[in-house]
Amino acid sequence: MGVALIDMADGIVHEYGVREKFVAASTGKVLAAATYYHLAESGLVSLAAPMGGSTAEVHLRRMIQQSDNQSWGLILGAIGYQGIQDYAASIGITYDRVLNTLTAAETARILALLFGGRLLSGANTAQLLSYMQYTNYESLIPAAVPAGINVFHKYGLLDGNLHDAAILVQDTRAYVLVVYTLGHDAAGMPGGAGIIHQVTQAVAAKLF
């Protein structure tokens, strides 16, 4: 298990457990989305571009909110493997698209930069964050926080990897919490979910 926690008030990254890279699974889709939005703001691509029978904007929503892998593939095709790696490097993240690997701390920094408005325009930041609410899988961090805390998150599950990366917000307080877990195989995921719940409950009890 690897855990990273950032208080948005000071931006300091606190790391616990495994600090090496994990297969990021679908948590890596946030980086892909941020890359596409950045390229759109640079005039190199468009949110309205036709893509897979719809538009890029629709596939960004599906990729984040529904974790649609077909949409992920289309977005990656538009930005290119080198494009996403170059964008990651520009924000201080070492990312290998082929392996799709990130540390919990790297994912936490991506979310902190996003929420802090340091990656994208205000409108695109708000749109991407809106896709991270009320997703099709609210059983991890969102299920373990007390009422009254807003959660923006992206989960990931692949083989034995079970992750959740979230921004927790209440009034003027905001924290980024990322929990990456790796079991032997998919059968271990219920245990991973329990660990994510325990970590989330402990963190929320101390911070809110």
Its pTM stands at: 0.96
Query: Which among 99, 100, 63 is positioned nearest to 78, based on CA atoms?
Result: 63
What band does 188 get if pLDDT is binned at 50, 70 and 90?
low
Report the DSSP beta bridge partners of residue 152. 167
Share of the chain above pLDDT 70, in %: 98
Q: String of b and e for 143-173 (b: at least 16 CB within 10 Å)? A: ebbeeebebbbbbbbbebbbbbbbbbbeeee
**Domains identified in the chain and CATH numbers:** 2-207 (3.40.710.10)
Here the tokens at position 123 are: 């409108």
Task: Report CA-CA distances (Å) from 50 to 76, 81, 119, 205.
Answer: 14, 20, 24, 46
Tens-digit pLDDT profile for residues 98-124:
999 999 999 999 999 999 999 999 999
- Mean pLDDT for 115-141 is 97
* Cα–Cα distance for residue pair 86/92, rounded to 1 Å: 10
Tens-digit pLDDT profile for residues 143-155:
999 999 999 999 9
